[in-house]
Amino acid sequence: MVPANEQVFETECQVISNSPVNNDYRLLVLAAPAEILNCTPGQFFHLQCPVREGLQPYLRRPMSIYGYFPEKGELQFLYKIAGTGTAALATLAPGEPLNVVGPLGQGFDIRDDWQNLLLLARGVGLATLAPLALEAHKRGKTLTAICSARSPEMLMSIDYFRDLGANIITVTDSEETSGLENLEKLIEGLIATNGIDAFYTCGSNRLLKLLQTLGARHNISGQIALEQQMACGLGMCQCCVRSFQSPTGIVHKRVCKEGPVFDLQEAMGW
Amino acid sequence: MVPANEQVFETECQVISNSPVNNDYRLLVLAAPAEILNCTPGQFFHLQCPVREGLQPYLRRPMSIYGYFPEKGELQFLYKIAGTGTAALATLAPGEPLNVVGPLGQGFDIRDDWQNLLLLARGVGLATLAPLALEAHKRGKTLTAICSARSPEMLMSIDYFRDLGANIITVTDSEETSGLENLEKLIEGLIATNGIDAFYTCGSNRLLKLLQTLGARHNISGQIALEQQMACGLGMCQCCVRSFQSPTGIVHKRVCKEGPVFDLQEAMGW
Amino acid sequence: MVDLSVQIGDLRLKNPIMPASGTFSEDLATMLDINTLGALVTKTITHGIRQGNPTPRVCEVAGSMLNSIGIPSKGVDYFRNVTVPYYQAYDSPLVVSISGNTTDEFAQLCEAVSVPGVAAIEVNISCPNIEEDGKAFAMRPSSTLDVMRKLRAATDLPLWAKLTPNTGETSDVARAAQEGGADALVVCNTMLAMSIDVQSRKPRLGNLMGGLSGPSLKPIALRMAYQCAKAVDIPVIGCGGISTTEDVLEYLIAGASAVQVGTATFINPTAMIRIIAELEAYMVAYNFSKMTDIINSVRDEEAADTVVFMETAP
Amino acid sequence: MVDLSVQIGDLRLKNPIMPASGTFSEDLATMLDINTLGALVTKTITHGIRQGNPTPRVCEVAGSMLNSIGIPSKGVDYFRNVTVPYYQAYDSPLVVSISGNTTDEFAQLCEAVSVPGVAAIEVNISCPNIEEDGKAFAMRPSSTLDVMRKLRAATDLPLWAKLTPNTGETSDVARAAQEGGADALVVCNTMLAMSIDVQSRKPRLGNLMGGLSGPSLKPIALRMAYQCAKAVDIPVIGCGGISTTEDVLEYLIAGASAVQVGTATFINPTAMIRIIAELEAYMVAYNFSKMTDIINSVRDEEAADTVVFMETAP
Ligand SMILES: Cc1cc2nc3c(=O)[nH]c(=O)nc-3n(C[C@H](O)[C@H](O)[C@H](O)COP(=O)(O)OP(=O)(O)OC[C@H]3O[C@@H](n4cnc5c(N)ncnc54)[C@H](O)[C@@H]3O)c2cc1C
Ligand SMILES: Cc1cc2nc3c(=O)[nH]c(=O)nc-3n(C[C@H](O)[C@H](O)[C@H](O)COP(=O)(O)OP(=O)(O)OC[C@H]3O[C@@H](n4cnc5c(N)ncnc54)[C@H](O)[C@@H]3O)c2cc1C
Ligand SMILES: Cc1cc2nc3c(=O)[nH]c(=O)nc-3n(C[C@H](O)[C@H](O)[C@H](O)COP(=O)(O)O)c2cc1C
Ligand SMILES: Cc1cc2nc3c(=O)[nH]c(=O)nc-3n(C[C@H](O)[C@H](O)[C@H](O)COP(=O)(O)O)c2cc1C
Ligand code: FES
Ligand code: FES
């Protein structure tokens, strides 16, 4: 009854590795059956973080797919320790099991007539945008990635994006290049020189506003991946709603089901 | 205000080893500070079993002291996996911490004018009686230990008792030597040949009744260590009471505080 | 062959496992064959369209969760035009959960959802009654009796009354619901609770307070299910903190004829089908042939007579 | 220098941490210096000598426990002749918890324990009132008002009323206790619950049902403490599921002036002294000089107006 590409699985995967990428982020690599790796960039999994002495997460934790590789049977997450659940996740050793539910939600859309794509990512946003970059590369798109971070050492996945042939621009707080003004100038420049067909970003209110303005100004489409507290992750509990602009006024949509990727202009600041 | 030998400690010990003794029992050896090793045979500790995936004990679990060795800083427990708490205990690896509260309760009494002591033990009862055997040995008492088990392979601590110079008699279900009738004959024999000054036993209703009868018949003193569900282990919550005969009628006593060792004739079957 | 089916009034369920309202929707069909479930219970709907409460709508507490979703609803027309037809594809009976702010609104909705395709109506009388100082109908026997009578008059379909744990009068409320015409009791909804973020000093839920569900609720809800099973003659459907087959057995032994699984589905979306399989295996292993061998088999003996109606902890 | 002291009516406590009734006794002195505690609260005593309930009196449930001890008591004479003199050695105020089956018995006991050496009386009105269908006094505003008036007349000592969570009328009961003359509220006692052993089919407690305490109770008790702090002007003493300093802060922020630690002491007997030290360190770290900087600092803003008196989960 359910189309194959909407099928969701509860699966026990095995940890291949789980190691720090830098001071803040860790990369978790799981061995996963091919059936659960039929993913779209921007989708996420709902992870049952392990129970440890003093760390007893109850609900699952949503995590964007950083990489899915059906050929080698691998599923990857890039995460930051934020609290109990992610701290417990960080204790997972190779060989241990991890129960995952997914793939979940609606991913990014790359329309055939879009050629020049711009990614604007910071922190965990990179995790969400990485598979999009790979997909864009596979489909022969021209990709520019503006990677933002606190400082140059905190920049992540640069090599990954570079290997995909992306044009990379790094901005950081410590170099004072990550401010809105500079970003606007940068993007205006990109639009003027090569043209941009679509924006892709994640999470931040600040970046959302900037891209909404630029998108409206130049009539450029865009998509944003959003976060919200989740319980079920499947669309059942209605806890993960956010407000969106719609022709009929403000509506609630579920981040886990209608999202986590939404149209840039529909999204509302918070 | 509290006499030194009544002082109780909450201490984080380190696991030295935790390995199977036979199919049913495991020996847990902890590195412990000397201050908590000022124990009396028959006393117990209250263990905060670790939390594991799928094994999340909440209350502490009471465990008799199998061995306490202030010289080498060791505390030992002999235990059987009965449920959640002990199953979690069995997962402890060398080097891991274990929070223990103790020493707790009233231990066995060896009166100076008692010379010939009889231990009657089965299963976990051996754990409780082992330090008594050591103490009796140190004090130059003559010790007979009747060790009971399902089958000869399940007999435990025989070598330990033998090294203490105890006279050992083994009885087992599989050899059909552990029945009440045989035990009564055995003990009557011991009383007739060497004389016995005191009985020591644990737990079983069946053995309690037998020793009460023999004790009354021959006017032999005795003590029994009893079990009861515990919460605090310290005498505060009143949950661990049992009924006892007293000159004024039946009274409730706390197993954790007035016990776990009680006078044999006061104890009541259940 | 073991027979897992159970009788809830006039309704025969193929097994005693069904989802709890608000923790299930068509979306679960992306994970499992929902036709294997004993019944299909919708999220509570209201007559009109409602948005629900501000976010955050959930938070985690020690080994359990709080929610304050606030019954967002697409209204009765959407239910009749979209939801009912969707469930036609399944033969597990469709149970619609409804709620209203006033007795009349409640009764009107009850009539409006009494359409072919609906097998039973679960009336969520754990919601606030705005005519009576905002307390839930099911907090008092009198308001329970009142609303159940009106609801009974509004439909010929089986009526399941869903009780609240936020009361000191469980047995009386259960009897009032039966007297008012309930065909079964669902015991129980979430317990009012709160959590505060110590850093920000803000309540963790957008709506200040919310309902506790999950394992922490189990001993409370089980006690209520037991009290209700003693107090009434209609079937009791246990609900609260069920996540294992052992939990289900505890409720059945206590007197429940079926159970609802809520929060556990969030943790393990396939929990219900695993439980159904394990329940069958348990019956085989213990030589039970039918569910009534287990239901109400609690060995409470003397104790029960003296303290069944105790509604206070010592 | 930070000042941890708090004011409970006329009584000044050196810090807001004290044990909960029934989870503390002289025996804790074998582990720690009980003089460091804000107050010393006895197990509830009754007028006469009582044996208490059948065993098993405790059992474990998911991350928490149930108990049904049943108030074994050595009676009032033992209390006056042995307990009171024992506590003379400590300067932390002695609070005696009392209970009675009838209003008169309760009031007599209240008078009998009003002796020098007792600093306050905690009246456990969460116990069943045998004159009124066995429901606890504190389940209803009317019986609460009634018994509190009689108790007030029986003593000049500060009266702390200990409320029960087994009610749907928390705010009303709190106001009734204040009106009846309580100097403070202790919020709250255990929640009635049950557990069944699936193997034996027997209730896990000898007395069939018992009280839930520990972490599972916290979100419920915190909600009640918050409701009570909004409903009355007298101090609220929070109690239920506290095991960490963060738990204490949650209660204080919600409006409690002090807290009682119960079951956590069973898990970590030294929990209270660890919490006192951590609380002091927290004050220093966050630049607070006195407890009133924290007490009732919840940022509930608009939300509070609309839903404070909500007594039902959505
Ligand atoms: C669709 C989606 C994709 C995400 N992808 C990633 C990713 O790739 N890498 C990454 O590091 N993080 C990601 N996050 C955020 C991640 O889910 C949270 O950091 C994590 O849940 C925090 O859990 P915790 O127990 O460590 O923190 P705590 O603060 O202890 O969590 C408490 C509760 O709040 C929830 N919560 C806390 N932060 C968030 C958040 N930002 N979004 C939603 N719920 C939250 C938790 O799930 C938990 O229920 C994503 C979130 C969403 C919704
Ligand atoms: C003073 C004393 C000394 C003991 N010494 C030993 C020993 O040396 N070796 C050993 O193997 N066992 C000993 N026991 C029994 C041991 O405490 C239990 O086997 C253990 O608590 C079981 O916990 P569990 O979680 O594995 O089992 P579960 O059955 O899951 O336990 C559930 C609950 O019941 C309690 N419980 C279960 N069995 C008993 C019991 N027999 N006595 C008291 N409470 C119980 C547990 O503490 C727990 O709270 C002793 C008990 C007491 C009271
Ligand atoms: C997110 C969420 C939403 C809920 N929504 C409803 C609802 O709309 N109507 C209702 O009667 N109960 C609702 N409930 C209560 C559940 O149906 C159930 O009674 C409760 O969660 C206890 O069961 P559990 O512990 O198995 O979750 C909801 C519970 C949760 C967790
Ligand atoms: C074993 C036990 C015995 C208790 N006895 C009493 C009592 O005699 N009187 C009383 O008012 N409360 C009694 N209580 C309730 C506690 O005082 C406290 O209100 C409750 O346990 C909640 O706090 P906690 O979760 O911190 O334990 C008892 C609780 C336990 C666990
Ligand atoms: S998390 Fe349940 S609907 Fe989105
Ligand atoms: S276990 Fe608490 S008094 Fe014995």
Kindly state the average pLDDT of the residues B101-116.
Answer: 96
Q: Which of A48, A74, A104 is the last residue of a domain?
A: A104
Is residue D1 in a domain?
A: no
Q: pLDDT grade, residue D120 (50/70/90)? A: very high
Asked whether residue B82 falls in the same domain as residue B131, the answer is: no
The torsion angles phi and psi of D267, rounded to 5 degrees, stand at -80, -45
pLDDT at B269: 81
pLDDT at D308: 38
The 10s digit of each residue's pLDDT in A143-154 is 999 999 888 888
pLDDT at C312: 42
Q: Which two tokens stand for residue D50?
A: 């009582």
Is residue A269 in a domain?
A: no
Residue with tokens 């590795």: A17
Nearest Cβ partner for C314 among D71, D168, D212: D71
Q: pLDDT grade, residue C214 (50/70/90)? A: very high
Is residue B160 in a domain?
A: yes
pLDDT exceeds cutoff 90 at C308 = no
pLDDT exceeds cutoff 50 at B36 = yes
pLDDT at A4: 57
Q: pLDDT grade, residue C313 (50/70/90)? A: very low
Q: ipTM surpassing 0.90, yes or no? A: yes
Alpha-carbon gap, residue A45 to A83, rounded angstroms = 18
Q: Is B5 in the pocket of ligand 2 (CB under 6 A)?
A: no
Closest to A65 measured CA to CA, from A86, A39, A101: A39
Q: What is the dihedral of CA C34, C39, C43, C45, to 10 degrees?
A: 130
Number of separate domains in chain B: 2
CATH code for the domain of B34? 2.40.30.10
Please name the helix (run of DSSP H) or strand (run of DSSP E) that holds residue B211, with its range, or none.
helix B205-218
Percent pLDDT > 90 in chain C is 91
The 10s digit of each residue's pLDDT in C218-258 is 999 999 999 999 999 999 999 999 999 999 999 999 999 99
pLDDT exceeds cutoff 80 at A79 = yes
Percent pLDDT > 70 in chain B is 98
pLDDT at A5: 65
Asked whether residue A50 falls in the same domain as residue A135, the answer is: no
Asked whether residue B207 falls in the same domain as residue B124, the answer is: yes
Closest to D126 measured CA to CA, from D83, D160, D77, D80: D160
D285 CB within 8 Å of a chain B CB: no
Q: pLDDT grade, residue C310 (50/70/90)? A: very low
Q: Is B224 in the pocket of ligand 2 (CB under 6 A)?
A: no
pLDDT exceeds cutoff 60 at D34 = yes
Alpha-carbon gap, residue D47 to B215, rounded angstroms = 40
Is residue A98 in a domain?
A: yes
What number of other Cβ atoms are within 10 A of residue C292's Cβ? 14
Q: Which of A46, A81, A104 is the last residue of a domain?
A: A104
Asked if D147 contacts D180 with a C-beta cutoff of 8 angstroms, the reply is: yes
Q: Which two tokens stand for residue D272?
A: 């209270």
Closest to A28 measured CA to CA, from A9, A1, A47: A47
Asked whether residue A124 falls in the same domain as residue A213, the answer is: yes
Q: Which of D66, D189, D224 to mutate to test the pocket of ligand 4 (most atoms within 8 A of CB)?
A: D189
**Mean pLDDT value across chain C:** 94
Residue with tokens 């209250």: B46
CATH code for the domain of D167? 3.20.20.70
Asked if C66 contacts C210 with a C-beta cutoff of 8 angstroms, the reply is: yes
Query: CA B94, B100, B101 angle in degrees (round to 5)?
Result: 170
Find the residues whose C-beta lies inside 6 A of ligand 4.
B 231, 237, 239; D 20-23, 43-44, 67, 69, 71, 97, 124, 162, 189-190, 213-214, 217, 239-242, 261-264
Which is more confidently placed, A1 or A218? A218
Q: Which of B69, B104, B139 is the last residue of a domain?
A: B104
Q: How far is D248 from chain B (nearest CA, A)?
A: 20
Say if residue C8 carries a ligand binding annotation: no
Q: Going by C-beta distance under 8 Å and a sequence separation of 6 or more, which residues neighbour residue A115?
A: A141, A142, A197
The one-letter amino acid at B177: T
Asked if A171 contacts A207 with a C-beta cutoff of 8 angstroms, the reply is: no
The one-letter amino acid at B146: I
User: Pairing state of beta strands D120-124 and D258-261?
Assistant: unpaired
Residue of B nearest to A97 (CA): B53
- The domain in which residue A158 lies consists of 116-225
C103-112 vs C141-154: helix crossing angle, rounded to 10: 30
Is residue D294 in a domain?
A: yes
The 10s digit of each residue's pLDDT in C255-292 is 999 999 999 999 999 999 999 999 999 999 999 999 99
What number of other Cβ atoms are within 10 A of residue A194's Cβ? 14
DSSP helix/strand/coil, C264: helix
Q: Is C215 in the pocket of ligand 3 (CB under 6 A)?
A: no
The one-letter amino acid at D74: K
pLDDT exceeds cutoff 80 at D305 = no
Kindly state the average pLDDT of the residues C167-183.
Answer: 97
The one-letter amino acid at C283: M
Q: pLDDT grade, residue D309 (50/70/90)? A: very low
- Is A53–B56 a contact, with Cβ atoms under 8 angstroms apart? no
pLDDT at D312: 43
Asked whether residue A65 falls in the same domain as residue A122, the answer is: no
Is residue B125 in a domain?
A: yes
Q: pLDDT grade, residue B261 (50/70/90)? A: very high
Closest to D272 measured CA to CA, from B10, A29, A187: B10
DSSP lists the bridge partners of residue B222 as: B199
Closest to D310 measured CA to CA, from B191, C166, C240, B139: C166
- The domain in which residue D139 lies consists of 6-312
Alpha-carbon gap, residue B180 to C226, rounded angstroms = 43
Q: Going by C-beta distance under 8 Å and a sequence separation of 6 or more, which residues neighbour residue D150?
A: D103, D104, D106, D107
Q: How far is A56 from chain C (nearest CA, A)?
A: 7
C126 CB within 8 Å of a chain D CB: yes
Asked whether residue A128 falls in the same domain as residue A84, the answer is: no
DSSP lists the bridge partners of residue A225 as: A202, A261
Number of separate domains in chain C: 1
Asked whether residue A132 falls in the same domain as residue A47, the answer is: no
Is residue B29 in a domain?
A: yes
Asked whether residue B82 falls in the same domain as residue B120, the answer is: no
Asked whether residue B201 falls in the same domain as residue B136, the answer is: yes
pLDDT at D253: 98
Per DSSP, chain A holds a count of helices (H) and strands (E) of 5, 15
**Mean pLDDT value across chain D:** 94
Is residue B148 in a domain?
A: yes
Alpha-carbon gap, residue A70 to A34, rounded angstroms = 5
pLDDT exceeds cutoff 70 at C152 = yes
Query: CA B211, B217, B221 angle in degrees (round to 5)?
Result: 55
Alpha-carbon gap, residue B241 to B250, rounded angstroms = 12
- In whole angstroms, how far apart are CA D280 and each of C160, D14, D245, D262, D291? 53, 12, 10, 20, 10
Kindly state the average pLDDT of the residues A251-268.
Answer: 96
Q: Which two tokens stand for residue B128?
A: 């409780």
DSSP lists the bridge partners of residue A222 as: A199
Is residue B178 in a domain?
A: yes
Asked whether residue A27 falls in the same domain as residue A79, the answer is: yes
The 10s digit of each residue's pLDDT in C31-45 is 999 999 999 999 999
Q: Is A48 in the pocket of ligand 1 (CB under 6 A)?
A: no
Kindly state the average pLDDT of the residues A5-14.
Answer: 92
Nearest bound ligand to the CA of residue C127: 3
Return the partners of chain B (3 or more C-beta pairs < 8 Å).
A, D
Residue with tokens 């070598």: B159
The 10s digit of each residue's pLDDT in A167-201 is 999 999 999 999 999 999 999 999 999 899 999 99
The 10s digit of each residue's pLDDT in D90-117 is 999 999 999 999 999 999 999 999 999 9
Asked whether residue B143 falls in the same domain as residue B61, the answer is: no
Please name the helix (run of DSSP H) or strand (run of DSSP E) that holds residue A205, with its range, or none.
helix A205-218
Is residue C1 in a domain?
A: no
Q: pLDDT grade, residue C121 (50/70/90)? A: very high
pLDDT exceeds cutoff 90 at A99 = yes
